[in-house]
Amino acid sequence: MKALFIGGTGTISAAVSELAVKNGIDLYLLNRGNRSEFFPQGAKSIIGDIRDVEVVTKILYNYEFDVVVDWVAYTPDHIKTDIELFREKTNQYIFISSASAYQRPPANYLVTESTPLVNPYWQYSRDKIACEKLLMEEYANNNFPATIIRPSYTYGKTMLPFIFNSREHRWTIVDRIKKGKKIIIPGDGTSLWTLTHNTDFAKGFVGLMGNIQALGHAFHITSDEVLTWDQIAKIIGDAVGLEPEIVHIPSEFICAFSPEHIGGLLGDKAVSVVFDNSKIKRFVPGYYATVPFKEGIRDTIKWYEAELYRCEVDEKFNSLTDKIINSYQKALNMAKE
């Protein structure tokens, strides 16, 4: 099998790239070459920027692939470009959507691939929904060979997951725990969530590559382990040998101080979501997530601690966290007076 990954060196895609090569797939990565440390040994590099359509069209002129995966398509314009680029160049085009496209808040905590795609809180998710709609119309009307994948919160050794943390410097949450600083969990800490290790995600994903039966279908690929955010925080604390000091604060209160978190909280992680993985298990027999969070997070922390520069702390986020906590506790005290 000959495959092209557009991107291919991110948190999720790097694990898929590595497994694809290991499974004997003739893999090409088209990207700008900025993350060479995560480039899988055995893959072939095509240097180019997918946003530069004229240049990329020339670069790919003589190529054809069994599978094309775009890891960095976010808007309908990106999809329109891909359809034109790869209409005659591949037998399967895989779009990376997002599980945040599912209905928020959900009518049912158990999410299947038929759960409605509605997210009024997050433009990112609405763009992914629009991309999916465009692809399914192209599949229905012109037989464009689309498959849609909706990852949920997927982490690996290079990405430390948490519900309220710095996006730029994810070590910040561990640093706060280590220094005895309070950490915020939106809501009451009992919301159910699923964290999936990227190596588990990769097993399901590679199983769909070249699978003709997957054309016209959408899949999510997640772990079956379900945890509350309080449990997740305590597992991270256990990994560094400390008990985190948790403060529960309503998501709406947090978003009033930081509107940029509206999408990620109200539109995603603040509500309980449990995924039914029966569809991916039907299409990829034998798929099963095997990395529990308590093991995966220990490997992640070891990776961060192996190089000091990876443990950079976001002081701006620290200030925001302290401001929200102080304001909330002040409001509580005033209400008790």
Query: Is residue 26 within 8 Å of 4, Cβ to Cβ?
Result: no
Q: Place 33 in a pLDDT band, splitting at 50, 70 and 90.
A: confident
Q: Tell me, what's the pLDDT at 105?
A: 84
Q: What is the pLDDT of residue 34?
A: 79
Give 43's pLDDT tier (boundaries 50, 70, 90): very high
Task: Give mean pLDDT, residues 184-212.
Answer: 97
Q: Which residue has the tokens 């939106």?
A: 186
> Whole-model pTM?
0.95
- 313 near 165, Cβ under 8 Å? no
The CATH superfamily holding the domain 2-154+196-219 is NAD(P)-binding Rossmann-like Domain (3.40.50.720)
Domain boundaries, the chain: 2-154+196-219, 157-195+226-273+291-331
Half-sphere exposure (Cβ direction) of 284: Cα atoms closer than 13 Å:
21
Q: Render pLDDT for 218-238 as a digit per residue (tens, 0 to 9).
A: 999 999 999 999 999 999 999
Q: Are the C-beta atoms of residues 167 and 223 closer than 8 Å to each other?
A: no
Average pLDDT, whole number, for the chain? 96
User: How does residue 38 score in pLDDT terms, banded at 50, 70 and 90?
Assistant: confident
What φ, ψ does residue 119 adopt, rounded to 5°?
-140, 95
The reported pLDDT for the residue numbered 164 is 97
CATH topology of domain 157-195+226-273+291-331: UDP-galactose 4-epimerase; domain 1 (3.90.25)
